[in-house]
Amino acid sequence: MAKTQLNVRVDEDTARAARERALERGMSVNRYIEELVRQDTGEVGHTFVESAADFMKQYEAVFVEEFGAELEGRREGRH
């Protein structure tokens, strides 16, 4: 993916905190900020949910065959 430069101004405390957190995580400040934005926009979670849904669609028959009766009992209130 192409990168775009983004310049932001923050107070020194915020800049210091960003540098410290990035260092703690072993990444650049740029990468740290990029990760924060991705988390905030839900990209990581959304990708996970889509992948899980695709997995369930692909293997639905296997789950029904293996656990169908057990799952049906749970829906009816039996455990």
pLDDT digits (tens, 9 = 90+) for 22-32: 999 999 999 99
Per-residue pLDDT reduced to its tens digit, 40-52: 777 666 777 788 8
Domain with CATH 1.10.1220 in the chain: 1-41
Lowest mean per-residue pLDDT among 31-35, 40-44, 55-59: 40-44
Q: Which long-range contacts (CB under 8 A, 24 or more apart) does 47-56 make?
A: none
Average pLDDT value over all residues in the chain:
83
Q: Which helix (H) or strand (E) holds 2?
A: none
Rounded Cα gap, residues 23 and 13, in angstroms: 15
CATH architecture of 1-41: Orthogonal Bundle (1.10)
